[in-house]
A and B are shown apart, each in its own frame.
Chain A
Amino acid sequence: MDISTVVNFLTNYVYYIGCFGLILIGLYIILVKSNLIKVIIGLSILDTGVNLFLISIGYIKKGTAPIFSKSGIEAKNMVDPVPQALVLTAIVIGVAVLALALSLAIRLYQHYGTLNLRKIREQKW
Chain B
Amino acid sequence: MVNPILLIVVPLGLAFTIPLFGFISKKIEKYVPVIGMLFNLCLSIFFIPKVLEHPIIVSLGGFPPPFCINLFVGPVAIFFSAIISLVGFLVSIYALNYIKEGATEKYHMLYLLLLTGATGVVLTGDIFNLFVFFEILCISSYALVAYLQNKEGIESAVKYLIQGAIGSSLMLIAIGLLYGQFGTLNMADIAKNISSVSSMSLFVPLVLFITGLGVEGAIFPLNAWLPDAHSSAPSSISAILSGIAIKIGIYGIARIVFTVFGASSLFMFFVYLGLITLLIGEFSAFRQQNIKRMLAYSSIGQIGLIVFALGIATPYGVSSALFQLLSHALSKALLFLSVGYMIYRAGSMNISDLEGMGKRMPLASLAFTIGAFSLVGLPPFMGFASKFLIVRAALANGGVLFIMLIAVVLFAAVIEGAYFFRVVQVFYFKGQRSDIKREEAPVTCLIPLFILVILIIVIGVYPRFIMNILNSAGSELINRVGYIKGVLG
The segment from A6-14, A71-79, A105-113 found at the interface with B is A105-113
Q: Is B56 an interface residue (CB 8 A)?
A: no
Q: Which residue of B lies closest to A39 (CB)?
A: B162
- Cα(A16)–Cα(B223), bound, Å: 31
Please determine whether A30 and B166 come into contact, CB atoms closer than 8 angstroms.
Answer: yes
| Contact B158–A122 (Cβ < 8 Å) | no
Query: What's the dominant secondary structure at chain A's contact region?
Result: helix
Contacts of B139 in A (CB 8 A): 93, 96-97, 100
Interface size on B, residues (CB 8 A): 34
Given contacts A46-B166, A93-B135, A104-B161, contact A57 B180 (CB under 8 A): yes
Return chain B residues, CB-CB under 8 Å to A111. Answer: 150-151, 154-155
Residues on B with C-beta less than 8 A from A23 are 169, 173
Question: A72-98, CB under 8 A of B: which get 1 and which 0?
Answer: 000000000011001001100100110
Partner of B152, one of A50, A57, A122: A122
Q: Contact mask B148-172 → A, CB, 8 Å, 1/0?
A: 0111101111100110011011001
Whether A123 and B135, one on each chain, are in contact in the complex, defined by CB atoms closer than 8 angstroms, is no
Query: Contact check: which of B128, B132, B142, B231 meets A100 at CB < 8 Å?
Result: B142
Which of these, B165, B175, B179, contacts A101 with CB under 8 Å? B165
Residues in A neighbouring B146, C-beta threshold 8 A: 104, 107
Q: Is B431 in contact with chain A by the CB < 8 A criterion?
A: no
**Chain A residues near B161 (CB-CB < 8 A):** 97, 100-101, 104
Q: Report the minimal beta-carbon distance from B170 to chain A, rounded to whole angstroms.
A: 9
- A46 and B157: CB pair below 8 A? no
Contact A43 B284 (CB under 8 A): no
B176 at the interface (CB under 8 A from A): yes
- Proximity string of chain A (34-61) to chain B, C-beta cutoff 8 Å, 1 when within and 0 when not: 0010010001001100100110010000
Contacts of B176 in A (CB 8 A): 50, 53-54, 57, 83, 86
Does B185 make an interface contact (CB < 8 A)? yes
In the bound complex, residues from chain B placing their C-beta under 8 Å from that of A125 are 227, 284
Alpha-carbon gap, A53 to B227, bound state (A): 34
| Interface residue count on the A side (C-beta < 8 Å) | 33
Q: Give the CA-CA distance A90 to B151 in the complex, in Å.
A: 31
Nearest-CB distance from A121 to chain B (Å)?
9
Closest Cβ–Cβ distance, residue A19 to chain B (whole Å): 9
Query: A90–B173 Cα gap in the complex (Å)?
Result: 11
Report Cα–Cα, A30/B169, bound state, in Å: 13
Q: Do the beta carbons of A101 and B172 come within 8 Å of each other?
A: no
Determine whether B476 belongs to the interface, using a CB cutoff of 8 Å to chain A: no
B189 CB-CB contact with A under 8 Å: no
Out of A83, A100, A117, name the residue touching B143 (CB < 8 Å). Answer: A100
Q: Which of A36, A50, A108 contacts B173 (CB 8 A)?
A: A50
Known: A43-B165, A100-B143. A122 touches B151 (CB 8 A): yes
Whether A107 pairs with B172 at a CB distance below 8 angstroms is no
| A25 contacts across to B, CB distance below 8 A | none
Determine whether B416 belongs to the interface, using a CB cutoff of 8 Å to chain A: no
A23, A36, A122, most chain B CB atoms within 10 A = A122
What 0/1 pattern do residues 19 to 33 of A give for CB contact below 8 A with B? 000010001001000
Cα distance, A47 to B169, chains bound together (Å): 7
Q: What is the CA–CA distance of A107 and B150 in the complex, to the nearest angstrom?
A: 9
Known A89-B132, A111-B151; contact A105-B158, beta-carbon cutoff 8 A: yes
**Does B228 make an interface contact (CB < 8 A)?**
yes
List of B residues within 8 angstroms of A120 by Cβ = 155
Partner of A108, one of B154, B228, B284: B154
Question: What 0/1 readout, one digit per residue, does chain B (279-290) give for beta carbons within 8 Å of chain A?
Answer: 000001000000
Contact of A53 with B166 in the complex, beta carbons under 8 Å: no
What is the chain A residue whose CB lies nearest that of B128? A86
Interface digits, B65-109 against A, CB 8 Å rule (1 contact, 0 not)? 000000000000000000000000000000000000000000000
Q: A residues within 8 A CB of B166?
A: 27, 30, 43, 46
**Residues 171-205 (chain B) with a chain A CB within 8 angstroms:** 172-173, 175-176, 179-180, 185
CB–CB A30/B162 < 8 A: yes
Contact present for B151 and A46 (CB under 8 Å):
no
Q: Give the docked Cα–Cα distance between A93 and B132 (Å).
A: 8
B135, B142, B158 pick with most chain A CB within 10 angstroms: B158
26 A-B pairs, CB-CB below 8 angstroms?
Answer: A27-B166, A30-B162, A36-B158, A43-B165, A43-B169, A50-B176, A54-B176, A57-B176, A57-B180, A82-B185, A86-B179, A89-B132, A96-B135, A97-B139, A97-B142, A101-B158, A101-B161, A104-B146, A104-B154, A104-B161, A107-B149, A107-B154, A111-B155, A122-B155, A123-B156, A125-B284
Across chains A and B, which 8 residue pairs bring their CB atoms closest together, nearest first? Answer: A57-B180, A107-B154, A123-B228, A54-B176, A93-B135, A111-B151, A50-B172, A46-B169
Contacts beyond the supplied A53-B176, A108-B155, A122-B152: 15 A-B pairs with Cβ under 8 Å = A57-B180, A86-B179, A90-B172, A96-B135, A97-B161, A97-B165, A100-B139, A100-B143, A100-B161, A104-B157, A107-B149, A123-B155, A123-B228, A123-B232, A125-B227
